[in-house]
Structure 1
Amino acid sequence: MAKHGKKYVEARKLVDRDMLYDPTEALELAKKTATTKFDGTVELAVRLGVNPKHADQQVRGAVVLPAGIGKEVTVAVFAKGEKAKEAEEAGADFVGADDLVAKINGGWFGFDVAVATPDMMGTVGKLGRVLGPKGLMPNPKTGTVTMEVARAVNEIKAGKVEYRVDKNGIIHVPIGKASFEMEKLQENFNTIIDTLIKVKPAAAKGQYLRSITVASTMGPGIRINTQKAAALGKAK
């Protein structure tokens, strides 16, 4: 069994493992149990009642968090001509076409999110083997394959996050920093839960929100009452 540091052990004492917390209480605890010297990220883990092996039960998309995520996001855009100019004017950090593809093929990955215009996907597709495993491949489902490159860049810079159910039916997504005011964390939390409820697959049967856990970087997991979370999400 892994050994935890003194700070984690002390933080763990503040959390009742058997309790399903009210969302607000859980977020307050996540802030209180942040154990890192740096400003840790508050992460949400939601287990859904879906079978990811079936195409009609995939849950994937992107949403702009109203309070942002408290991090400067570096954006690379694959585009040519006027679209490349639009991306640059919108604040994209790197813009290019074949030159950008060659740079990435050479081992460079100095960006957090990649955006591409549809006409560039034939070229960008060649990077699938290197971008795919890193979760950096542009995808129309998350709005990163689009002709509206300026809008895409603006949304990403404003706090757009991607969500995707893993093989265990769990979605992991950041909702801000431990230093965030409670109001901002709550707003982002409600937005994520509301979004997941809205994209519930028609084929999903039984309880949809199976479990919800929140934790700060290297902090203990705090379980949340799913019914209270769903009510807050719908009331957003």
Structure 2
Amino acid sequence: MPKHGKKYLAALAKVDRTRLYSPTEALALVKETSYTKFDGTVEAHLRLGIDPRHADQNIRTTVALPHGTGKTVRVLVFAQGEAVQAALDAGADYAGSDDLIARIDRENFFDFDVAIATPDMMGKVGRIGRKLGPRGLMPNPKSGTIVPAADLARTIREVKGGRVEIRNDKTGILHVAIGKVSFTPQQLSENFVALMDAVKAAKPSGAKGTYIRSVTLTSTMGPGVPVDPVAAQNLKA
């Protein structure tokens, strides 16, 4: 069992693990128990009543957080022709075709957080899927990262502005960053509401029983704060 330092144990002592906090109380406690010298990330962890072994029960969608995540998102766009310059003009950090694909394939270039592609590029991008896929960087229509050239500018702005992907892990748990410790309680609350609304809207038809079984909020390296899942679903911005 890993040993925790004094700062973590002091933060943990402030959390009553026998109770479920309201979202407002939990967010305040997450800010209070953050002890890192840097501006930590606030994360929401949701355990869902789904069976990830069934493809139709997996969650993969996106949500536009009204206040973003507080993180600078580096965007790479696979496109060709005039769409390359259009992507760069819209704020993409990198845009190109064969040159970028070769750089990723030969140099293991992964200095980006999100990859977007136009449909006509997917035949070529597929050749480096073995490298992009395991890193969660493969463009996919479900995550809104395969779009026509005409939609590139809008998509780039959304991604850089705070659109995040929601995707369960193999145990049926979602892990989503909803902001920074430096965010105001109102900003964190509004981002959390947006996340919960998106998760509720993405409920698979095959999911049985209680859908959102538990909710935990935490900051980077901080203790988890258990949240009342019913209150979390009923919270309004």
TM-score range, shorter chain: over 0.9
* Distance in 2 separating the partners of 1:134 and 1:9: 33
Deviations 1:25-73 (A, max 9, x none): 0011111111211100001100111111112111111111001111111
* Distance in 2 separating the partners of 1:97 and 1:48: 39
Unaligned runs of 5+ in 1: none
1:231 aligns to 2:226 (yes or no): no
Work out the percentage of aligned pairs sharing the same amino acid.
56
Deviations 1:65-124 (A, max 9, x none): 001111111100000112212211111000010000011112111101100001000111
Contact 2:63-2:198 within 8 A present in 1 as well: yes
Q: How does 1:84-163 map to 2 (within 5 A)?
A: 84-105=84-105, 106-147=107-148, 148-163=151-166
1:203 aligns to 2:198 (yes or no): no
Deviations 1:116-141 (A, max 9, x none): 00100011111111111111111110
Give the 3-state SS of the residue equivalent to 1:196 in structure 2. Answer: helix
Equivalence for 2:223: 220
Task: Kindly report the root-mean-square deviation, in angstroms, between the aligned alpha carbons of the 2 structures.
Answer: 0.8
Equivalence for 1:21: 21
Size of the alignment, in residue pairs?
Answer: 234
Moved >3 Å (runs of 4+): none
Question: What is the TM-score of this pair, normalised by structure 2?
Answer: 0.97
In the TM superposition, what is the alpha-carbon distance from 1:212 to its structure 2 partner? 0.3
Equivalence for 1:77: 77
* Distance in 1 separating the partners of 2:43 and 2:130: 28
* Distance in 1 separating the partners of 2:232 and 2:48: 13
* Distance in 2 separating the partners of 1:196 and 1:108: 32
Unaligned runs of 5+ in 2: none
Q: Which range moves more in the overlay, 76-85 or 20-29?
A: 76-85
Contact 2:69-2:162 within 8 A present in 1 as well: yes
